[in-house]
């Protein structure tokens, strides 16, 4: 179903037909990803048609994001989400969890552990999945929250810095001095969700400390762009370049959209204290919009370049689905706080581009990347790897909140 036209005399999110379309888009995404669940309780990566790809590893972020996404879908009222939530929670405890050394391994296959690396990035997603599963009523959610929170305390949380360390071997030996924004940003996401779920103040406090570093100290020094990579003593490492998807060189505008929205979420949960958090959030988001949007005629243009140099120059011009998804969520958050005319313009532009170039209207799901002509491509990704970003774009667009998304989704259908 294509994006409906909304008259210019009303905001798009207030239009009943648009809201109906958003609900239908969530349902289509969920239906597309249901076949990820295999008969043995594992999850498969799906090709463009939704057919499971054979021989793929099950990575920790895939398992956790499916749990989280289907828990949100359940809150939005979609039926039959429990099989995916329950299978994912079981797989986390019985397959990803390392019974020998503790912690959660990065990937497994039919034979056992494929990559035993213990990443902060993966562990905070375990916390996110567990917290979301608790909201969905899963009976083992508290057990998983307690286990992964203790691991984060013991191995990843640097109390002096107020930030997360990144990586260890399977038996918890440090093998690098790398520090990164990505794990810390998703740590904020997980901690805020855990705070919403459990009420434990430590999660809110730690999220604030991470935000203070990146949005209070780093962003103003770098023109409200966010360097991705750091040394052991948290100095910017401008020359670092690792995994091209998870650790690209420079700055990643999509992360500015996410962090801006998370800053507003923290501010709301903290009781909306007197602070410049809303202004910083808007500055981060609007800087990324201005830096990274590809101008010109669609679909050969539009969307966002993947990475920038620290001065804002384009580094990697590839275009992926997830920065567009995160920009939509960021614009919804700005509108929910204090809407400006440009927010409506961007919200319309982003959904129009997603509808034209990214949403697979024939089969469901979103195409993950585009070539230079705006056609679906498969250089970086195999198939359609993820529901997490795109389903949140459609869910965040439905509510008027800055925090407590599941509760707002349930209230919207009451």
DSSP 8-state assignment for residue 289: H
Q: What pLDDT is recorded for position 245?
A: 85
Report the predicted TM-score, pTM, of the whole model to 2 decimal places. Answer: 0.98
Q: What pLDDT is recorded for position 144?
A: 98
Determine whether 373 is exposed, middle or buried from the number of CB atoms within 10 Å of its CB (0-12, 13-18, 19+). Answer: exposed
Question: Does pLDDT of 111 surpass 80?
Answer: yes
Closest by CA position to 81, among listed 340, 355, 330, 409? 409
- Taking the C-alpha atoms of residue 327 and residue 212, their distance in angstroms, rounded to an integer, is 22
Q: List, for residues 354-400, the tens digit of each pLDDT value.
A: 999 999 999 999 999 999 999 999 999 999 999 999 999 999 999 99
- Taking the C-alpha atoms of residue 289 and residue 389, their distance in angstroms, rounded to an integer, is 17
Phi then psi for 296, rounded to 5 degrees?
125, -170
Contact call for residues 61 and 123 (beta carbons, < 8 A): no
Closest by CA position to 164, among listed 146, 147, 152, 176? 152
Closest by CA position to 77, among listed 409, 326, 359? 409
Report the residue count for the chain: 414
- Taking the C-alpha atoms of residue 119 and residue 347, their distance in angstroms, rounded to an integer, is 34
- Taking the C-alpha atoms of residue 289 and residue 326, their distance in angstroms, rounded to an integer, is 11
Q: What pLDDT is recorded for position 287?
A: 98
Contacts of 13 (CB under 8 A, 6+ apart): 19, 332, 335, 347, 397
The set of catalytic residues is 255, 389
Q: List, for residues 210-236, the tens digit of each pLDDT value.
A: 999 999 999 999 999 999 999 999 999
Query: Cα 259–260–265 angle (5° rounding)?
Result: 90
- Structural domains present in the chain: 12-412 (1.50.10.10)
Q: What pLDDT is recorded for position 414?
A: 77
Query: Which string of DSSP letters, residue by residue, matches 310-331?
Result: TTS-EEE--EEHHHHHHHHHHH
Measured on CA atoms in the order 211, 197, 254, 117, is the torsion positive or negative? positive
- Taking the C-alpha atoms of residue 345 and residue 35, their distance in angstroms, rounded to an integer, is 36
Q: What pLDDT is recorded for position 91?
A: 98
Closest by CA position to 247, among listed 303, 151, 336, 176? 176
Q: List, for residues 61-86, the tens digit of each pLDDT value.
A: 999 999 999 999 999 999 999 999 99
DSSP 8-state assignment for residue 3: P
């Amino acid at each position: 179903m294509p994006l409906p036209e909304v008259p210019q005399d009303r905001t798009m999110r207030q239009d009943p037909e648009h809201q109906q379309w958003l609900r239908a888009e969530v349902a289509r995404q969920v239906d597309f990803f249901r076949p990820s669940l295999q008969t043995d309780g594992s999850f498969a990566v799906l090709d463009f048609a939704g057919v499971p790809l054979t021989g793929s590893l099950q990575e920790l972020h895939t398992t956790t994001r499916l749990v989280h996404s289907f828990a949100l879908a359940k809150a939005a009222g979609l039926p039959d989400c429990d099989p995916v939530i329950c299978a994912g929670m079981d797989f986390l405890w019985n397959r990803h969890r390392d019974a020998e050394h503790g912690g959660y391994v990065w990937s497994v296959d039919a034979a056992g552990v494929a990559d035993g690396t213990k990443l902060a990035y993966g562990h905070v997603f375990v916390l996110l999945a567990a917290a979301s599963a608790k909201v969905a009523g899963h009976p083992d959610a508290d057990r998983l929250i307690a286990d992964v929170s203790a691991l984060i305390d013991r191995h990843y949380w640097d109390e002096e810095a107020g930030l997360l360390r990144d990586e260890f071997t399977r038996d918890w030996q440090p093998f690098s001095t790398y520090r990164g924004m990505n794990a810390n940003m998703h740590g904020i996401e997980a901690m805020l969700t855990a705070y919403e779920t459990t009420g434990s103040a430590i999660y809110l406090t730690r999220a604030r400390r991470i935000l203070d570093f990146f949005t209070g100290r780093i962003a103003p020094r770098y023109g409200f762009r966010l360097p991705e990579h750091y040394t052991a003593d948290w100095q910017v490492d401008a020359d670092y370049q690792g995994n091209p998807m998870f650790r690209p060189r420079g700055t990643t505008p999509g992360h500015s959209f996410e962090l801006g929205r998370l800053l507003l979420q923290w501010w709301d949960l903290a009781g909306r204290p007197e602070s410049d958090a809303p202004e910083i959030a808007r500055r981060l988001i609007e800087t990324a919009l201005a830096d990274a949007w590809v101008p010109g005629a669609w679909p050969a243009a539009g969307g966002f370049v993947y990475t920038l140099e620290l001065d804002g120059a384009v580094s990697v011009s590839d275009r992926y689905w997830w920065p567009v998804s995160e920009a939509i969520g960021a614009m919804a958050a700005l509108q929910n706080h204090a809407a400006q005319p440009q927010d409506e313009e961007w919200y319309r532009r982003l959904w129009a581009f997603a509808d034209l170039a990214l949403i697979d209207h024939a089969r469901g799901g979103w195409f993950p990347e585009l070539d230079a002509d705006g056609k679906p491509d498969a250089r970086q990704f195999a198939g359609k790897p993820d529901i997490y970003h795109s389903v949140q774009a459609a869910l965040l667009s439905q509510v008027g909140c800055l925090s407590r998304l599941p509760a707002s989704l349930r209230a919207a259908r009451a």
